[in-house]
A and B are shown apart, each in its own frame.
Chain A
Amino acid sequence: MGFDLDPLATELAGHVLNPREGSVGGFNGTAGAGGCGCN
């Protein structure tokens, strides 16, 4: 048993919310501190 049945789908979903709620990242999964183009 593991936490994520689908780690990649997990990661992709994380691109949407995480950088907007205090995590480091952007829509670009490889990005750094949030070049998030959505704002």
Chain B
Amino acid sequence: MGAIRLVVPALLIAAAASAQTATKAEYPPGPKENPDRFSAKAAFYFQKDLGGNELLNEDAMIVETLVVLKKKITQNNTATVRAMGSIISSASYDSARSRAILVSGATTTINNPGSGGLGLGWSYSPRDWSIGVRGTIGFESAYRTRGLGLDVSRTFNEQNTTLSLMLQGYHDSVRMIRFDGTTLEEEKRNTLSAEAGWTQILSPRMLANLTLNFTEQFGFLATSYGFVRVTPGQGSPFAYEYDRFEIAPSQRHRGSATLRVKRALDAETSVEGSYRFYADSWGVLGNTANVIFTRYLFDRVMSISPGYRFYVQTPAWFYGRRAKEDALFATSDPDLGRFFGHMVSLNFRFPNVRFLWLADYDIGVNFYHRTDGIEMLWLTVGFDLAYWPK
């Protein structure tokens, strides 16, 4: 439901879904609690670089699909299969490829088949407990990942309180295809994440959640084909600026805290606000504020959710549009720079409609403006089947 989704981890969604069954939370109705589910979503994403950094072209287009099958196997056991795939058209890939040919004359092996992934999960939910495990694999053109996750949650206080804990690990391989066509041995990237969530129904019309996350990463953390432009210093053998690889520290500690509060104004209307604070050992501090309004219309034939999201971050300590010649670490990745972001979103949902199938259909549009010259527009469409197809 709108932009607040952008800071919500999967576990929180699960916790919130559990919480909404509580007797005290009445208005307005939340997501359906279908034990069996078949859902498909597609996102069409366009990114335009308006020249924030003249050395980089961040134009991109992505079409992504996500399909989820969820099936209750026995009274307490549920299996989930998730598949996703996307087609990515990115100027930075193209640039890396053309630069490699120009700079070195090498026939680079950079290609761009898109990305894909598969996830399998199992959850066991006796009474007030829920315990889940999941495994994932995924790929992008220069990147492979394998992940394992464990979720535990428990409800208390007549289901008005949900506490949850998630542990997640990833082991990734990064193909070292450099911007100049150099190909080196594959590097590894590891990620360990722990997340604790507390969801509390405060009154029949009010719900709150606090989520704390800590993530530790180590290994190769830069973009393999990223580059920075170097300004020669005094005594340099180079007379002109030149490019070199992006180099990032091999460790990153990351933490965030998110508070969400949702309140029903009446049986058809709700408003939600959230705030997220993020900090990491690279010097990036992020603050996100979000508000979203949801209202059912036409006797709940549809719901409409306009939202606004504000984001601001400080740059990583080794970020710069140019790097010094003696810098050990350097990046020009705008995502690690300083910028503000403003996003507006508008989402529509049509529950229980017989269109292709009897399902809930949704469509949304989001526009995001970053002050560093990057703009993004994306559309989402999808459905959730009310029942399994017979």
Q: Is B115 an interface residue (CB 8 A)?
A: yes
Q: Decide if B147 touches A37 in the complex (CB within 8 Å).
A: no
Q: Is B325 an interface residue (CB 8 A)?
A: no
Q: CA separation between A13 and B347, bound complex, in Å?
A: 11
Determine how close the nearest CB of chain B comes to the CB of A21; give it in whole angstroms. Answer: 6
Total A-B pairs in contact (CB under 8 Å)? Answer: 237
Known: A4-B1, A16-B376. A33 touches B43 (CB 8 A): no
Q: CA separation between A28 and B58, bound complex, in Å?
A: 18
Q: Decide if B311 touches A21 in the complex (CB within 8 Å).
A: yes
Contact of A7 among B7, B13, B19, B207 (CB under 8 A): B13
Interface segment out of the listed B61-69, B71-79, B97-105, B235-243: B61-69
Residues in A neighbouring B280, C-beta threshold 8 A: 22
Determine how close the nearest CB of chain B comes to the CB of A17; give it in whole angstroms. Answer: 5
Interface segment out of the listed B23-31, B122-130, B151-159: B23-31
Contact of A14 among B8, B62, B341 (CB under 8 A): B8
Q: Decide if A9 touches B136 in the complex (CB within 8 Å).
A: no
Residues in A neighbouring B356, C-beta threshold 8 A: none
B175-231: which residues lie under 8 A (CB-CB) from chain A?
A: 189-191, 193, 205, 207, 209, 215, 217, 221, 223, 226
Residues in A neighbouring B58, C-beta threshold 8 A: 38-39
Q: Is B318 an interface residue (CB 8 A)?
A: no
Q: Decide if B191 touches A30 in the complex (CB within 8 Å).
A: no
Q: CA separation between A1 and B335, bound complex, in Å?
A: 35
Q: Decide if A30 touches B112 in the complex (CB within 8 Å).
A: no
Residues in B neighbouring A8, C-beta threshold 8 A: 39, 41, 66, 68, 382, 384
Determine how close the nearest CB of chain A comes to the CB of B5; give it in whole angstroms. Answer: 3
Q: CA separation between A22 and B288, bound complex, in Å?
A: 11
Q: Decide if A9 touches B41 in the complex (CB within 8 Å).
A: yes
Q: Decide if A27 touches B115 in the complex (CB within 8 Å).
A: yes
B329-382: which residues lie under 8 A (CB-CB) from chain A?
A: 333-335, 341, 343, 345, 347, 349, 360, 362, 364, 366, 368, 376, 378, 380, 382
Determine how close the nearest CB of chain A comes to the CB of B121; give it in whole angstroms. Answer: 11
Q: Decide if A30 touches B117 in the complex (CB within 8 Å).
A: yes
Q: Decide if A21 touches B136 in the complex (CB within 8 Å).
A: no
Q: CA separation between A28 and B116, bound complex, in Å?
A: 6
Q: Decide if B294 touches A26 in the complex (CB within 8 Å).
A: no
Q: Which range contains the number of A residues in contact with the other chain?
A: 35 or more
B11-53: which residues lie under 8 A (CB-CB) from chain A?
A: 12-13, 16-17, 19-20, 25-31, 39, 41, 43, 45, 47
Residues in A neighbouring B362, C-beta threshold 8 A: 6, 9
Residues in B neighbouring A12, C-beta threshold 8 A: 41, 43, 64, 66, 380, 382
Q: Is B320 an interface residue (CB 8 A)?
A: no
Q: Decide if A3 touches B4 in the complex (CB within 8 Å).
A: yes
Q: Decide if B45 touches A16 in the complex (CB within 8 Å).
A: yes
Q: Decide if A3 touches B16 in the complex (CB within 8 Å).
A: yes
Q: Decide if A37 touches B140 in the complex (CB within 8 Å).
A: yes
Known: A8-B66, A17-B368. A32 touches B45 (CB 8 A): no
Q: Decide if B88 touches A38 in the complex (CB within 8 Å).
A: yes
Determine how close the nearest CB of chain A comes to the CB of B209; give it in whole angstroms. Answer: 7
Q: CA separation between A7 and B18, bound complex, in Å?
A: 13
Contact of B140 among A4, A13, A35 (CB under 8 A): A35
Q: Decide if B270 touches A13 in the complex (CB within 8 Å).
A: no
| Chain B residues close to A by CB (< 8 Å) | 1, 3-8, 10, 12-13, 16-17, 19-20, 25-31, 39, 41, 43, 45, 47, 58, 60, 62, 64, 66, 68, 82, 84, 86, 88, 90, 92-93, 112, 115-119, 136-143, 145-147, 168, 170-172, 174, 189-191, 193, 205, 207, 209, 215, 217, 221, 223, 226, 254, 256, 260, 262, 264, 270, 272, 278, 280, 284, 286, 288, 294, 303, 305, 311, 313, 333-335, 341, 343, 345, 347, 349, 360, 362, 364, 366, 368, 376, 378, 380, 382, 384
Q: Across chains A and B, which 4 residue pairs bring their CB atoms closest together, nearest first?
A: A32-B170, A2-B30, A10-B5, A35-B143
